[in-house]
Amino acid sequence: MSWAWFHRFGSPPYFYRVAGKLAPWFGWSALVLVLVSLYGGLVRAPVDYYQSDAFRIIYVHVPASWLALMTYTTMAVSAAIGLVWRIKVAHAVAVACAPAGVSFTVVSLVTGMIWGQPTWGTWWAWDPRIVSQLFLLFFFLGYIGLRSAIDDPDRADRASAVLAIVGVVNVPIVRFSVDWWNSLHQAPTVMRMDKPAMPWEMLWPLLLMALAYTLYFFWIMLVRARAEVLRRDRGGQWVREALARDAAGGSA
Amino acid sequence: MGEFFAMSGYWPFVWPAYALAMAGLAFEAWRARRLLGRARQEARRKLAIQEQS
């Protein structure tokens, strides 16, 4: 298998150009899928026997929680690639993931709190899943804070990459906390060894919203990574050509 | 229609959760677009300074 296509992404001009072409596709697809998923989750899905209509919070809470984990994993893998192979674009991708990760984690935590009140009778519980998700937020914030505390970009890349890699240990803790410890948080309903514990009418809007969030994440990540690549190489010859192309084509 | 918005009495929980999630997506999209716009502006400024010097 040839890895030439992968190595090409290490070139900032190539990454900037390809990301600019891909980003709008991800963005528009995400928008359409979000709208369809909202219709599915709010209108088409039947009322839950136990939780009544409060269960509909699942369609915004669970995809945000999944994406928070996926964003962290992407950030850590990109940071590791940047650290090992010294690819600056990989660091730019890691930098682009962090703010999106903060948003997904905050949405996950706050919608979880809103869901917790009618179902558990409390806004907050010191439950392993919730606490590990809170630690995920701290890792994202720590990554952003560490970068902004170091002036030298190369040192900032290396130090923040180490923090991102160390924080990966929290990802399986978040994922499996409901299996490893007695938890107030419900067990997985979709990602189980056997079939999902939801009927298809309830499941499809959830899967579609998860796909919409994933596409949205790729869009945000590419837009932010393009900005980061541009910021790092501003003044370069390729930047002049890229900006002229952007002005002519109006890419995202 | 009223029944739909009432969400079986859970409207104070369901609608704020959806509003927050959608506002979060919109806010993050706006921030990312603004960041790219600023990066382009900054790069143009830098290139203009290079040309002058």
In tens, the pLDDT along A110-124 reads 999 999 999 999 999
Number of H helices, E strands in chain B: 2, 0
How large is the ipTM? 0.93
B7: closest chain A residue by CA: A53
The mean pLDDT value of chain A amounts to: 91
For B:12-51, CB contacts with A below 8 A are 13-14, 16-18, 20-22, 24-25, 27-29, 31-33, 35-36, 38-40, 42-44, 46-47, 50
The confidence band for A193, taking pLDDT boundaries of 50, 70 and 90, is low
Interface test with B, best of A239, A241, A251 (most B CBs within 10 A): A239
In chain A, the percentage of residues whose pLDDT exceeds 90 is 74
Q: Which class for B44: exposed (0-12), middle (13-18), buried (19 or more C-beta within 10 A)? A: middle
Q: How far apart are CA A34 and CA A111, in angstroms?
A: 17
The confidence band for A189, taking pLDDT boundaries of 50, 70 and 90, is low
| Contact with chain B for residue A110, Cβ under 8 A | yes
Residue among B15, B43, B28 at smallest CA distance from A217: B28
**Choice between A175 and B23, residue whose per-residue pLDDT is larger:** B23
Is residue B47 pLDDT above 80, yes or no? Answer: yes
Q: How far apart are CA A61 and CA B29, in angstroms?
A: 19
Is residue A148 pLDDT above 90, yes or no? Answer: yes
Is residue A194 pLDDT above 70, yes or no? Answer: no
The confidence band for A53, taking pLDDT boundaries of 50, 70 and 90, is very high
Q: Do A60 and B10 touch (CB under 8 A)?
A: no
By Cβ distance, the residue of B22, B32, B46 closest to A223 is B32
DSSP state for residue A235 in the 8-state scheme: T
Per-residue pLDDT, A234? 81
Residue A190 and residue A198 in contact, taking contact as beta carbons nearer than 8 Å: yes
If phi > 0 it is left, if psi is from -120 to 50 it is alpha, else beta; for residue A235 that is left
Question: Can you tell me the mean pLDDT for A207-232?
Answer: 96
Is residue A225 pLDDT above 90, yes or no? Answer: yes
Q: How far apart are CA A46 and CA A56, in angstroms?
A: 9
Q: How far apart are CA B4 and CA B6, in angstroms?
A: 5
A-chain residues near B44 (CB < 8 A) = 243
Q: Which fold has domain A21-247?
A: Four Helix Bundle (Hemerythrin (Met), subunit A) (1.20.120)
Q: Do A115 and B13 touch (CB under 8 A)?
A: yes
**Choice between A63 and A176, residue whose per-residue pLDDT is larger:** A63
Q: How far apart are CA A230 and CA A73, in angstroms?
A: 24
Per-residue pLDDT, A197? 72
pTM given for the model = 0.92
Q: Do B32 and A114 touch (CB under 8 A)?
A: no
B36: closest chain A residue by CA: A227
A-chain residues near B40 (CB < 8 A) = 230, 243, 246
A233: closest chain B residue by CA: B43
Question: Can you tell me the mean pLDDT for A96-119?
Answer: 96
By Cβ distance, the residue of B32, B38, B46 closest to A235 is B46
**Structural tokens at position B12:** 């104070």
A-chain residues near B33 (CB < 8 A) = 223, 252
| Contact with chain B for residue A234, Cβ under 8 A | yes
Per-residue pLDDT, A46? 93
The confidence band for A249, taking pLDDT boundaries of 50, 70 and 90, is confident
How far is A80 from chain B, CA to nearest CA, in Å?
23
The confidence band for A191, taking pLDDT boundaries of 50, 70 and 90, is low
| Contact with chain B for residue A35, Cβ under 8 A | no
